[in-house]
Amino acid sequence: MVYQANPTRYETMEYRRCGQSGLKLPAVSLGLWHNFGDATLVETSRQLLQHAFDLGITHFDLANNYGPPPGSAESNFGRILREDFLPYRDELIISSKAGYTMWEGPYGDWGSRKYLISSLDQSLKRMGLEYVDIFYHHRPDPETPLSETMRALDHIVRQGKALYVGLSNYPAELARQAIDILNDLGTPCLIHQPKYSMFERWVEEGLLDVLEDKGVGSIAFSPLAGGLLTDRYLNGIPPDSRAASGSRFLNPEQITESKVAKIRQLNALAEKRGQKLSQMALAWVLRGDHVTSVLIGASKTAQLDDAAGMLKNRHFSEQECADIDAILNRAD
């Protein structure tokens, strides 16, 4: 059966301008970090992508090493794109990244011109695309000159292999330097992708100010703190959770009694707002205009529905913001 997108998909999603560019992103974007590699049935991934687009989620975010195994998320996405989404290609924002280990040897990691251009060529082949909408440098390289990395991004845009470029995981001062180099080259930085949630607020210590000053947008990854800011951990660690499985991104040592107490207090506040904790956590990241979009992962379509449903109540009173800060600032 040929996929037909929901004709009302643009009626409820909010689209927010990305910095000072002409591009708007959906308030909620879908990341393909998990649940799109070879360990997941393609039909499951297909269902998630179709449902996301039917909700007006037009931005799908990938990277060269997403899987497992590395590269498989892009390959599987390329198959689904070819079979279901080709008629809608110009309605989609597709991004990829390079900066972490992708292949063996000195040219398969970090930020050299050799690595970035080679990696994007591989990504485009896996996805069956002529270009991506956004291409990111995934993390700073402490050894390669920053000018070389930024010149590679500029070259990629001039080649027509990406429409825009962005940064990910760059601290404030390095981001400022990189943005200035790109501006001087004539290829402005569109967006920065940092980790940001109620439990991880380092971006408020300078980075968001830099982005606002430079007219650069932002998209927050891990806005639910790896699942902590959901109702799954209200009563400790469920046996089928990411933390219980020993994930390197979320381990039991992080889930202290104090942290669970904060989660419960935040959940009570969310209930007062008529929301799930996950919805309040996403809305909190989007408060104000500093963050353009929240980047979520999903293993079930219901999680996509919850995220999109957050938009019905994404504003906070001053008292609610103060109450949240009071909860978060209590000593662990």
Find, among 93, 95, 85, the residue nearest to 46 by Cα: 85
**Segment (H or E) for 302:** helix 301-309
Give the separation between CA 185 and CA 278, rounded to whole angstroms: 40
Q: How confident is the model at residue 332 (pLDDT cuts 50, 70, 90)?
A: low
- pLDDT score at 244: 54
Q: How confident is the model at residue 255 (pLDDT cuts 50, 70, 90)?
A: confident
For residue 69, cis peptide bond before it (omega within 30 degrees of 0):
yes
**125-169 pLDDT, tens per residue?**
999 999 999 999 999 999 999 999 999 999 999 999 999 999 999
**Segment (H or E) for 288:** none
Q: Is the pLDDT of residue 251 over 80?
A: no
Lowest mean pLDDT among 157-166, 191-200, 322-331: 322-331
For residue 68, cis peptide bond before it (omega within 30 degrees of 0):
yes
Residue linked to tokens 């070389």 = 148
Strand ranges for 222-299 from DSSP E: 293-296
**Beta partners for residue 229, in sequence order:** none
Give yes or no for a contact between 242 and 250, defined as CB atoms under 8 angstroms apart.
Answer: yes
Give the separation between CA 253 and CA 223, rounded to whole angstroms: 20
CA 331 to each of CA 14, 94, 250, 259: distance values in angstroms, whole numbers, following the listed order? 36, 40, 20, 9
Q: Is the pLDDT of residue 246 over 80?
A: no
Helix (H, G, I), strand (E, B) or coil at 137: strand
More confident residue, 212 or 236: 212
Cα three-residue angle 231-232-237, rounded to 5 degrees: 140
Q: How confident is the model at residue 237 (pLDDT cuts 50, 70, 90)?
A: confident
- pLDDT score at 16: 98
Q: What is the average pLDDT across 274-285? A: 98
Q: Is the pLDDT of residue 296 over 60?
A: yes
Find, among 162, 237, 148, 229, the residue nearest to 196 by Cα: 229
Give the separation between CA 254 and CA 274, rounded to whole angstroms: 28
- pLDDT score at 304: 98
Angle of the 277-285 helix axis to the 257-272 helix axis, nearest 10: 90
- pLDDT score at 233: 85
**15-31 pLDDT, tens per residue?**
999 999 999 999 999 99
- pLDDT score at 330: 84
- For the stretch 251-267, what's the b/e string if a residue is b when 16 or more beta carbons lie within 10 angstroms of its beta carbon? eeeebeeeebebbbbbb
Q: What is the average pLDDT across 262-268? A: 97
Cα three-residue angle 73-79-80, rounded to 5 degrees: 90
Q: Is the pLDDT of residue 293 over 80?
A: yes
CA 159 to each of CA 108, 121, 261: distance values in angstroms, whole numbers, following the listed order? 21, 11, 52
CA 53 to chain centre: 16
Q: Which domains does the chain have, with CATH numbers?
A: 15-228+284-314 (3.20.20.100)
- pLDDT score at 239: 65
**299-313 pLDDT, tens per residue?**
999 999 999 999 999
Give yes or no for a contact between 96 and 120, defined as CB atoms under 8 angstroms apart.
Answer: yes
Give yes or no for a contact between 283 and 316, defined as CB atoms under 8 angstroms apart.
Answer: yes
